[in-house]
Amino acid sequence: MASRESLSDKFPIVYDEKSGLPLWKDLRELKLRYSLPISTLKKFFDGLTKGTLYGTRCRKCGEKSFPPKPRCPICGSQDVDWVEVDKEGTLLSYTVVNVKPESYQHYPDYIVGIAEAGNGFRILAWVKCDDPAKLKRGMRVTIEIGRREEENTLSYYIVPKT
C-alpha cells in the first residue's frame, strides 16, 4: 500500500482530518447549473407575467416572505397564504456592487437594495438608478417588474420615485 506522502506528492490528494481517509481535492473550479422544482411557487411566476408580485404570509406566526416560501422559514409551518405585495415602498438600504461574483462579470457595476413594501414585505432587488448619489435611505420607491436584458427573463426592481 502506498504511503500518504507518495500519493500526496503525485496527486491532488489530501487526508481527511477526522477519518484519515484520502480525499481527491480537484484543482479546477466546478461550475454547477442546477434545476429546482417550482411547482409550489408557480403562482409567483404567473403573477410576474401579469404584473403582480406575490409573497407568502404564515398563518401560524405571521412571518412575511418575499420571494414567497411554501414553508415558513421561522416556524416551519406549510400553512401559508399568498398575499399581493404592495409595489409602493421605502428604500431601507442599498450598496453599489463593483466587485462582482463570477456569474455577474458581464454586468456593469450595479446597485442592490432592500425596500420595505407598504404592507410590510421586504424586497431584496437590484436598484434601477443611473447615479447612486441620487439614492437616500428612507426615500419612496416603487417595485417594478421588468425584463433582465442580459438573461431575457422577467424580474423585479427597486426604482426610486422622482
Instruction: Give contact residues for Zn ion (rule: CB under 5 A).
Output: 58, 60-61, 63, 72, 74-75, 77
Smallest distance, Å, CB 37 to Zn ion?
22
Smallest distance, Å, CB 57 to Zn ion?
9
Grid cell of 102 as nine digits = 463570477
Nearer CB in complex with Zn ion: 63/116: 63
Smallest distance, Å, CB 58 to Zn ion?
3
**Which of 72, 53, 70, 51 lies closest to 61 in space, CA to CA?**
72
* Contact status, residue 69 vs residue 49, Cβ threshold 8 Å: no
* Contact status, residue 55 vs residue 83, Cβ threshold 8 Å: yes
- For 121, phi then psi, to 5°, come to -75, 140
Nearer CB in complex with Zn ion: 60/134: 60
Place of cell 450595479: 110
How far is the C-alpha of 36 from the C-alpha of 120, rounded, in Å?
28
Nearer CB in complex with Zn ion: 6/77: 77
Nearer CB in complex with Zn ion: 58/135: 58
Smallest distance, Å, CB 121 to Zn ion?
15
How far is the C-alpha of 89 from the C-alpha of 75, rounded, in Å?
26
Smallest distance, Å, CB 77 to Zn ion?
5
Nearer CB in complex with Zn ion: 60/137: 60
Work out the number of other CB atoms within 10 angstroms of the CB of residue 45.
11
